[in-house]
Structure 1
Amino acid sequence: MIEHADRKRSIQKVLLITLFLNISVSIAKIIYGGLTNSVAIYSDGFHSLFDGISNIGGLIAICIASHPPDKEHPYGHRKFETVFTIFIGVSMCLVALEVIRNAYEALIKLKQPEIDEKAFFILFITLMVNIFVVRYERKKGKELKSEFLIADSAHTKTDIYITIGVIISVIITKLGYPVVDPIGGLIVAIFIAKEAIKIIKESANVLADRTVIGEEKIASILKTCNGIKAYKDIRTRGTNGQIFVDLKIFVTPSISVSEAHDIAEKVEKIIKDEFPDVIDVMVHIEPFKKKN
């Protein structure tokens, strides 16, 4: 299990690296898109800018989430990371609305984009940067069991598809079809909104204590444990790297408290061994009564 301090430093390092790359990419797209009146490139730039903003939010979230459990937060502060993950999704929805507004204005005013060969160079470089960021952030997210990094990498992954779409729209625009540029901006907005809804939904499930490990998986382990006559009310909650398990086991009424305690400890050990992300197992012991 990765220590809190090490995990915090590792995630912060990832976020600082991706922050620098995302801000660099966004500035290039926004400046060029603004100078050439290209709604597609300009909107894609703001989408990339939000990647940087989410990195900043992530740095704040990790600082809070890494605090150890205390009297007011006995289960730790990990869910603050989930809260900031929802912030990413909500902000992405706002970005999608802004992109739609820009595309609509471009269609109404029929602004003619002034795109040259520099557009392809800028888009190609930013595409390579996005591919690197997605692979790097997702890999580190899995290693560090950070739902924020995984969600952020999923968000950045949309940049790859969007940038490819923008490149196609730029080519078509250069061929003499300027209306394709704002349409490309609308497509960008759809991708942003779709990914935002997915992130919000997944994070909301974590906050609502959705089951993390299937009941049947825990049950299959309990069946191998000697001394347990029956079990029920198996519940799990939490997120990657911090899962809590609650369950009831029924034991022979005649055994001593010490023996029942040993069985409970054995249950806790085998569950943690099987599922490394489990950090706490609450075992309730009940006397087993045969049904007449």
Structure 2
Amino acid sequence: MTQLLIHWFVKNPFDTQNPRTRNAYARLSGVTGILMNILLFAGKFLAGTLTGSVAITADSVNNLSDAGSSVISIISFKLAEKPADAEHPFGHARIEYVASLAVAFLIMFLGVELVRDSFDKILHPELAAFNWLAAGVLAASILVKLWLFLFNRKLGKAIDSVVLQATAADSLSDTMATGAVLISSVVSPIIGFSLDGYMGVIVALLIFWSAIGILRETLNKLLGEAPAEEMENMIRKHLLRADGVLGIHDLIVHSYGSGRTFASVHVEVDAKADILLSHDAIDNIEREVLLDHGVQLVIHLDPIVVDDHTVNTLRARVKDLIDTIHPDMSMHDFRVVLGQTHSNLIFDVVVPHECTKSDAQITQEIIRGVKAMDPSYFAVITLDRTYVSCPSHKTKMS
């Protein structure tokens, strides 16, 4: 069913980086959500009125808010479609994250209202008679919401949308919440005790949990979370298979919303290679990554000495030393300045987030280790913290 709707209403469904395609997916999700949730609101509100159940009535209002969330989703994607301008050179795609926050706060507000009504029902319980119409409406609602969860999850994954994934999570929490209300309407008349208010509290907690999950995921994206490992590996593999590339380090990826990804990286090449040829190869790689993966990549050319026995030997020894401090620590930009009284070993060390040692501790351990190799060696160290989840430095042999 979902695939059929995509085929009918989304032109070029596989061009998911295109803002028009993303807008079409969002419009399909939004219109479907509005229609379904308005129907559910009408059915539940009628059932809640007939039975006098505050949980069913509250659940109906939740569906009305879901329809409002769908409206927010449609508007946000339309705004995110706007091209970059002088004030927003990276585009407007992050509006989607702002919309996701709005949905989360709306859900939390409804949770607060439901808690208040539920406690009132606990303090002043009224036992409602079992009603087949109400039970049927709730059962149908569970099936519809479960389908909406699967529907929005598929659309969200297709275009990597935090708003649609939030909508899917909301639908799943609604499914559990409505299930709790259905249990209350069936069990309460049997045991002769009103579970309505207690189930209302459970529904509210589920709503809060859904909202917190949406907030956490959206705030992570706004604060600047580490890129997905798949994205890192894609860039690394593309770079390392290119001719002339000996290794890479200092990979940084910035996301300004789906379809607006920028990255920078240092690429190591043989210092004796023709600089014009190396530069041309780097330009080709940048174009390929943009065309194949939609990532705006900026590459810094980093020439390294590869045929000097002294440098290669010292590089290997320092690398072994660093491995003893932390196995995921890496080194790059290694060079040696030889002198009559002393020699400087100059290099950068990338420290993983898992390493609990301070910069001062790491620096002192490396200095002591280098001195142990030869008292005339001086280590000139620059410590970096990685911006990605994988080890920062990679060569064609690692």
TM-score of the pair, normalised by structure 1 = 0.89
Tell me how far apart the structure 1 counterparts of residues 23 and 90 of structure 2 sit (CA, whole Å): 17
Pair 213,284 (structure 1): closer, same or farther in 2 beyond 3 Å: farther
Deviations 1:243-270 (A, max 9, x none): 3222122334454553233232343356
Corresponding residue of 2:204: 189
Residues 1:109 and 2:124 are matched in the alignment: yes
Is 1:222–1:228's contact at 8 Å kept on the other side of the alignment? yes
Corresponding residue of 1:268: 286
Is 2:251–2:263's contact at 8 Å kept on the other side of the alignment? yes
Is 2:111–2:205's contact at 8 Å kept on the other side of the alignment? yes
Moved over 4 A (4+): 253-257, 269-274
* Structure (1/2) with the larger strand percentage: 2
Corresponding residue of 2:239: 222
Corresponding residue of 2:154: 139
Tell me how far apart the structure 2 counterparts of residues 114 and 94 of structure 1 sit (CA, whole Å): 30
* Residues 252-291 of structure 1 mapped to structure 2, 5 A cutoff: 252-268=270-286, 271=289, 276=293, 278-288=294-304, 290-291=334-335
Match of 1:73 among 78, 88, 95: 88
Larger mean CA deviation between 250-259 and 63-72 belongs to 250-259
Residues 1:232 and 2:276 are matched in the alignment: no
Q: Percent identity?
A: 24
Is 2:250–2:266's contact at 8 Å kept on the other side of the alignment? yes
Q: Residue 73 of structure 1 aligns to a residue in which SS?
A: coil
RCO higher in structure (CA 8 A, sep ≥6): 1
Tell me how far apart the structure 1 counterparts of residues 192 and 96 of structure 2 sit (CA, whole Å): 45
Is 2:115–2:200's contact at 8 Å kept on the other side of the alignment? yes
Question: What is the deviation of 1:116?
Answer: 1.4
Q: Residue 282 of structure 1 aligns to a residue in which SS?
A: strand
Quote the RMSD (CA, aligned, Å): 2.3
Deviations 1:21-74 (A, max 9, x none): 112112321332244221221222122222111101111101111112222212
* Structure (1/2) with the larger helix percentage: 1
Q: Residue 153 of structure 2 aligns to a residue in which SS?
A: helix
Question: What is the deviation of 1:114?
Answer: 4.3
Is 1:212–1:243's contact at 8 Å kept on the other side of the alignment? no
Is 1:65–1:77's contact at 8 Å kept on the other side of the alignment? yes
Match of 2:269 among 251, 261, 264: 251
Tell me how far apart the structure 2 counterparts of residues 36 and 95 of structure 1 sit (CA, whole Å): 21
Q: Residue 164 of structure 2 aligns to a residue in which SS?
A: helix
The count of corresponding residues between Structure 1 and Structure 2 is 290
Question: What is the deviation of 1:143?
Answer: 2.2
Larger mean CA deviation between 111-120 and 75-84 belongs to 111-120
Corresponding residue of 2:167: 152
Is 2:289–2:295's contact at 8 Å kept on the other side of the alignment? no
Letter in 2 for 1:210: E
Is 1:145–1:241's contact at 8 Å kept on the other side of the alignment? no
Tell me how far apart the structure 2 counterparts of residues 55 and 85 of structure 1 sit (CA, whole Å): 11
Question: What is the deviation of 1:163?
Answer: 1.6
Corresponding residue of 1:127: 142
Q: Residue 335 of structure 2 aligns to a residue in which SS?
A: coil
Larger mean CA deviation between 172-181 and 219-228 belongs to 219-228
Tell me how far apart the structure 2 counterparts of residues 271 and 163 of structure 1 sit (CA, whole Å): 47
Pair 245,112 (structure 1): closer, same or farther in 2 beyond 3 Å: same
Q: Residue 291 of structure 1 aligns to a residue in which SS?
A: strand
Tell me how far apart the structure 2 counterparts of residues 264 and 34 of structure 1 sit (CA, whole Å): 68
Tell me how far apart the structure 1 counterparts of residues 118 and 273 of structure 2 sit (CA, whole Å): 73
Residues 1:62 and 2:77 are matched in the alignment: yes
Question: What is the deviation of 1:241?
Answer: 4.0
Letter in 2 for 1:105: D
Question: What is the deviation of 1:107?
Answer: 0.8
Is 2:173–2:206's contact at 8 Å kept on the other side of the alignment? yes
Pair 221,45 (structure 1): closer, same or farther in 2 beyond 3 Å: same
Gaps of 5+ in 2: 1-14, 306-333, 337-398
Deviations 1:108-147 (A, max 9, x none): 1223334411111111221222122222222222223322
Residues 1:91 and 2:106 are matched in the alignment: yes
Letter in 2 for 1:228: V
